[in-house]
Structure 1
């Protein structure tokens, strides 16, 4: 490495945030990237550790030590080339990835990990600012046609790789804009949609065709106003079909009062705000303004609901988590290099929310069909002696009520949309995902592949990119007999 003793000399420096009271006034990104000098110093902290556990901790296997060293030497263009060699969209992961690579960093054993995510963010932003991110046109065309169904990170990564291999790729998306989860599932203050738009422009220049507002499946399942493409028509027109839709079936809350107005799935709420920010007219938009909001679910989606509610002007926001409160510091000797279970506080939670753990909602109450109150109990977790499984039980006398004008269900997702898989006749696993392995990503239907959430279930954007890239190589091999695309 360029600075052998850098990890001893320099402290970790995090990216700066705009102050909460200021950033709550707008929907724009508020993270301030590292300066050149800050990034250089942080790159110098990367150890010459011999075995780069960070690369293994990263789902796309980013060659992290190499681009850390190149940033230390201020060879930004070469750093960008190394970064792009494993990741099609580092501007996405550099902003919204939880950074399992940092948990796996060798320095993290007894110190603060290298700021890998912030360096990645700095590299790709500099690449775009200097015009280094350009279309990569194939040397030849294969004459083969591929349909990609779903335009989230898995579909876009797969489509870009296949286009660069010389295939004619068409991406179908049921929403009115391309981007899937990136476009409508992640708030603008975490990922400005201009990052998606300029990447789409690059892909169009590389030959990818995009078809928004197009539903793939049986016509009876399509929403009004969408163009419908049947599985049969795609299988007849294209040499391969790749299913890359998201895990869109949300986990529900089966309690009395669930049917009351004011109780919504998180994605209904989040996607409407993103559409409004994009200039769409949203009829009867769900709004948190002036309301007491309760978010059920302690993950990233719940955090996004907090940030969006506060920007809309909520009177109060409370977030419940079913699991017990985690420790603020993990036992690194026990968990490293794996992702540790510890208490994390997101930027949205810092902006203002009451958080509570080990809470189970038992009922929703209201008047005239509108929710007004939530009833919950406290629970405790214990290990069942017979099975060894963790189970929960209600704490006697712990019932309490809270005012609730808007209840947002952010408890995760169970499976992709089954109507699409059923329309293609794809065999599903016990969880309702497309049955396909990571060796070749083939499904039970000839020339139909599946990747991303459609195959593995709810997961991270970085895992979707990995699967899209690997699936692209399998499709390329299927169409041509061999492939030079990386896995």
Structure 2
């Protein structure tokens, strides 16, 4: 351990974001430049716990506690403190294929279970992880490393999100010939079009990694919608194995009066249109097919995707943005029912809310409200939203908490653009049905965690398509696991060969 008293001597100091009003003028990543000496000081706060919970990756109370890919956090913290950055990178890459992604967009369950967090603000693990990989790219340590030999076996990975990319990376390093199929025009899936540029830069971060994978031997095919533009039967004939990493892309809808009015969109439809416009038109968001300029924007949904919609609408020049949440505002501190090392269900201000407060003078979120009706003008465009306040009460029959309208609380607000960010219901079923795959009660592909095998021989499933909507870090966990299972299957097929 490099600094036994570091956690006593130094206070938590995350890498700051740029000032809100400054960063609203561009689409660059929100964070300020790091200072390596400061990162090393923060790494000194790690206590090198006898029983570190930060890398356990357990599920507690239905959410992740600790790192789902079991990053060797105390080890790379110690190496960063000692200035041994290249060794820290090697340690980090043992468990994480894409730390430049998780270091930017992961909510850091590792920090929620940091032992220091029991009595003091936790170690800035996410910042340290991102700093290691960013320095690795800057120093030229991230070089192509193709496998020394090839097995001759071929794998089709369908979907190029974090699960598909991590699976492809692992299988390629094992020596198999991997082709990744993506239905969109660019590789990256959720990483490319589901997360906005100010959180994860597409050219400098996502495409840089994809290009490295190309140099290592992974093949990519875009505009390939398997089951629609490409016959899945032909794919199965051509490849020895297929891994499905298509995500859980079926959005939860809002079945209320006025849903069919113009100006009501799913969040992913909106975010995708904006990112595509940025990349196609030299970062000119004005070319987006869905635009918020001078509009009163209402975002329905309080999660990360809702926050991304808030940040995007502000950068597009909206007149005002409101974010609605049916749940109550979380507490400021952990409650007795949410003890460490569970993920802390506490009140947080993310980048989008911080920007809205700076622009509008207050946090855009409103809690304990439910949308009742969308109201349109004579042209069929949405112009207002009717809301009602709700309270959560226990149902006597089921003992479950249920929302109940507060009498006399109905009101209307301006709404020229309504964005639905209420999560996802599961994978689209076209490919599932064409392959005859079994599904679970939530319509996800039935494949046990740790095995990833479906009911169809040679077909594996991983990521949100198998587990449901989840975190990028869980998708990497699943992609790595599916690659291991697929590799085992391919080696049985090739028994007797000298690999």
Q: TM-score, normalised by structure 2?
A: 0.93
Matched, 1:64 2:73: yes
1:202 aligned to which of 179, 194, 212:
212
CA displacement, residues 74-128 of structure 1 (integer Å, 9 cap, x when unaligned) = 0000000010100000000000000000000000011100000000011000000
| 2:63 corresponding residue in structure 1 | none
- Note if contact 2:69-2:96 (Cα within 8 Å) is conserved in structure 1: yes
Quick check: 322-331 or 186-195, which moved more? 322-331
| 1:90 corresponding residue in structure 2 | 99
Structure 2 residue matching 1:108: 3-state secondary structure? helix
The separation in 2 between residues aligned to 1:326 and 1:384, in whole angstroms, is 22
- Note if contact 1:68-1:119 (Cα within 8 Å) is conserved in structure 2: yes
The separation in 2 between residues aligned to 1:364 and 1:389, in whole angstroms, is 29
| 1:359 corresponding residue in structure 2 | 369
| 1:35 corresponding residue in structure 2 | 35
Matched, 1:376 2:387: yes
| 1:44 corresponding residue in structure 2 | 44
Deviation at 1:270, TM superposition (A): 0.4
Matched, 1:325 2:325: no
The separation in 2 between residues aligned to 1:40 and 1:386, in whole angstroms, is 56
1:291 aligned to which of 264, 288, 295:
295
2:222 aligned to which of 203, 212, 217:
212
Structure 2 residue matching 1:210: 3-state secondary structure? strand
The separation in 1 between residues aligned to 2:311 and 2:113, in whole angstroms, is 29
Change (3 A) 1:9 1:394: same
- Note if contact 2:276-2:288 (Cα within 8 Å) is conserved in structure 1: no
The separation in 2 between residues aligned to 1:384 and 1:9, in whole angstroms, is 51
Deviation at 1:420, TM superposition (A): 1.5
CA displacement, residues 262-300 of structure 1 (integer Å, 9 cap, x when unaligned) = 111011110001001101599871110000000000000
The separation in 2 between residues aligned to 1:81 and 1:251, in whole angstroms, is 40
Deviation at 1:354, TM superposition (A): 2.0
Deviation at 1:136, TM superposition (A): 2.0
The separation in 1 between residues aligned to 2:419 and 2:353, in whole angstroms, is 15
Matched, 1:157 2:158: no
2:182 aligned to which of 163, 173, 176:
173
CA displacement, residues 106-157 of structure 1 (integer Å, 9 cap, x when unaligned) = 0001110000000001100000000111222212210100000000000000
Deviation at 1:386, TM superposition (A): 3.3
Gaps of 5+ in 1: 223-227
- Note if contact 1:292-1:406 (Cα within 8 Å) is conserved in structure 2: yes
The separation in 1 between residues aligned to 2:301 and 2:317, in whole angstroms, is 21
Change (3 A) 1:44 1:332: farther
The separation in 2 between residues aligned to 1:36 and 1:332, in whole angstroms, is 38
Q: How much is the aligned-residue C-alpha RMSD, in angstroms?
A: 1.5
The separation in 1 between residues aligned to 2:301 and 2:290, in whole angstroms, is 18
Matched, 1:453 2:478: no
Runs of 4+ in 1 over 4 A off after TM superposition: 280-284
Structure 2 residue matching 1:392: 3-state secondary structure? strand
1:303 aligned to which of 300, 307, 310:
307
The separation in 2 between residues aligned to 1:149 and 1:334, in whole angstroms, is 38
Gaps of 5+ in 2: 57-65, 357-362, 495-499
Quick check: 27-36 or 207-216, which moved more? 27-36
The separation in 2 between residues aligned to 1:439 and 1:71, in whole angstroms, is 32
- Note if contact 1:159-1:472 (Cα within 8 Å) is conserved in structure 2: yes
Q: TM-score, normalised by structure 1?
A: 0.95
| 1:147 corresponding residue in structure 2 | 156
Structure 2 residue matching 1:77: 3-state secondary structure? helix
- Note if contact 2:159-2:181 (Cα within 8 Å) is conserved in structure 1: yes
